[in-house]
């Protein structure tokens, strides 16, 4: 059974790019460009790993991370904050709200799949 990853980023192009990368790694991918709409799915669907942007309208990624951490059925979920922010204060805030990994979007192509597979304990299967 493939692991399920939910990508929440208000930029549709980024969401689509990450979804393509994750599907190539044989992961089940859910996406949302609206954090407030994503809450319904977060409340009902067990997710193995979340990838959250920070700067989003309505609810930022730090607030969303804190929200996910309050849900008992998401207690085992891993969280990657994937953002354009690169400052130390943002990194520290990510740790404070319970993110497992804080990544800058400039690292996306090199490190995302490696981080996801490491957090989920799965290996890439070559096709």
Which of 123, 105, 126 is closest to 2 using CA atoms?
Answer: 123
The alpha helices in 6-87, defined as continuous H runs, are: 12-24, 35-44, 61-69
Residue pointed to by tokens 């404070």 = 96
For 14, left (φ over 0), alpha (ψ -120 to 50), or beta?
Answer: alpha
**Residue 71's domain spans which residues?**
4-120
CATH of the domain at 39: 3.40.50.2300
Q: What is the mean pLDDT of the chain?
A: 91
Contact present, 48 and 5 (Cβ < 8 Å): yes
Q: For the chain, what is the domain count? A: 1
Encode pLDDT of 36-86 as tens digits.
999 999 999 999 999 999 999 999 999 999 999 999 999 899 999 999 988
Please tell me what DSSP assigns to residue 116: H
pLDDT band at 90 (very low <50, low <70, confident <90, very high): very high
Question: What's the confidence (pLDDT) of residue 124?
Answer: 57
Q: Is the pLDDT of residue 121 over 60?
A: yes
Q: What global pTM score does this model have?
A: 0.89
**125 within domain boundaries:** no
pLDDT at 86: 83
Is the residue at 126 inside a domain? no
Answer whether residue 105 is part of any domain. yes
């Amino acid at each position: 059974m493939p692991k399920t990853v939910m990508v929440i980023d208000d930029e549709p192009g980024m969401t689509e790019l990450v979804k393509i990368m994750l599907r190539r790694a044989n992961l089940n991918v859910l996406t949302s460009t609206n954090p407030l709409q994503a809450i319904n799915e977060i409340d009902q669907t067990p997710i193995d790993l979340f990838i959250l942007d920070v700067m989003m309208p309505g609810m930022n990624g730090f607030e969303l991370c804190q929200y996910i951490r309050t849900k008992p059925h998401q207690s085992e979920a891993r969280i990657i904050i994937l953002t354009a922010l690169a400052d130390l204060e943002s990194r520290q805030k990510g740790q404070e709200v319970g993110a497992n990994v804080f990544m800058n979007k400039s690292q996306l192509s090199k490190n995302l799949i490696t981080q996801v597979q490491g957090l989920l304990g799965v290996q890439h299967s070559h096709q």
